[in-house]
């Protein structure tokens, strides 16, 4: 089903094997793609595999040419797809709930923290606005949001959002920070200010973690993800347009030979 299979955790009969199907890179079908939810659940499950409560199998599927058995089983469903004991879970919210309720050790990841939950929930939509509008006002809104996250990290003084160990919020936030960093810089020269020291320290710790580095797409894949989105948007727009033909003339040139 895939060219790239990462395994982690013990594969003996003591712990259940969980399979996560993720989207491949749109540049090279053998690489991991820049799918935020794929990376988020990859990180959640990687942490559980490190704790040896599960054995994790990650399968990469190239959606530009999905293998026949993938199409047979899942038709038009896109990854992430979680497979647990023969049961395929296709929707993001259900995957999250399944990890929390049914995957051994999962409940420990789902810390209750309303402040953090509401702080990070609209961050990503601000990046999308920056990439679409490309104006300084939207960049300033994104920067202000990052400043609030920086302030919380500074105030709490913990290594991660809710303490010194990772939780579901970290698995949600960090892939989005990486997209902001890489795509923001590439498309609109947006940079996370170096004055956000607590935020950079947070990212520094993330960059040391296997759960992040094993699941993280290449910069080029992040960039290409947004390029393709923009190209598709353009194409859709153009398909709806009535074709026009520029054949007007900006000057008076009528019948010069009749002069």
Q: By CB under 8 A, name the binding residues for its own copies.
A: 27-28, 31, 159, 178, 181-182, 194, 197, 200-201, 203-204, 207, 213, 216, 218-221, 223-224, 227, 231, 234-235, 238-239, 241, 243-247, 249-251, 253-254, 256-257
Greatest pairwise CA separation for the chain in angstroms: 97
> At its nearest, how many Å lie between its own copies and the CB of residue 235?
7
Cβ atoms of 59 and 1 within 8 Å: the answer is: yes
Instruction: State phi, psi for 25 to the nearest 5 degrees.
Output: -55, 145
Residue nearer to its own copies on the CB measure, 44 or 150? 150
> At its nearest, how many Å lie between its own copies and the CB of residue 29?
11
Residue nearer to its own copies on the CB measure, 14 or 239? 239
> At its nearest, how many Å lie between its own copies and the CB of residue 126?
20
DSSP 125: H
Among 186, 112, 190, 189, which Cα is nearest to 145's? 190
Residue 211 contacts by C-beta under 8 Å, 6 or more apart in sequence? 43, 46, 47, 50, 166, 171
Residue nearer to its own copies on the CB measure, 112 or 247? 247
Residue nearer to its own copies on the CB measure, 69 or 255? 255
CA distance 214 to 173: 16
> At its nearest, how many Å lie between its own copies and the CB of residue 173?
16
């Amino acid at each position: 089903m895939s060219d790239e299979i990462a395994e982690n955790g013990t594969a003996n009969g003591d712990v259940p094997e969980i399979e996560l199907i993720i989207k491949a890179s749109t540049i090279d079908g053998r690489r991991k793609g820049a799918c935020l939810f794929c990376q988020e659940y990859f990180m959640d499950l990687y942490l559980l595999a490190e704790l040896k409560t599960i054995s994790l199998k990650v399968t990469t599927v190239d959606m530009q040419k999905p293998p026949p058995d993938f199409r047979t089983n899942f038709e038009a469903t896109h990854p992430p797809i979680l497979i647990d004991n023969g049961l395929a879970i296709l929707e993001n919210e259900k995957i999250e709930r399944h990890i929390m309720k049914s995957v051994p050790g999962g409940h420990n990841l789902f810390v209750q923290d309303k402040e953090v939950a509401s702080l990070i929930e609209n961050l990503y939509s601000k990046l999308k606005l920056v990439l679409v509008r490309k104006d300084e006002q939207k960049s300033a809104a994104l920067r202000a949001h990052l400043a609030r996250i920086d302030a919380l990290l500074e105030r709490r003084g913990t290594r991660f959002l809710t303490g010194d160990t990772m939780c579901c919020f970290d698995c949600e936030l960090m892939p989005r920070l990486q997209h902001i960093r890489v795509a923001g810089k590439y498309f609109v020269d947006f940079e996370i200010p170096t004055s956000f020291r607590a935020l950079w320290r947070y990212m520094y710790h993330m960059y040391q973690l296997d759960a992040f580095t094993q699941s993280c797409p290449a910069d080029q894949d992040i960039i290409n993800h947004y390029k393709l989105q923009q190209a598709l948007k353009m194409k859709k727009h153009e398909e709806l347009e009535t074709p026009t033909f520029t054949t007007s003339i900006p000057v008076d040139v009528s019948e010069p030979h009749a002069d």
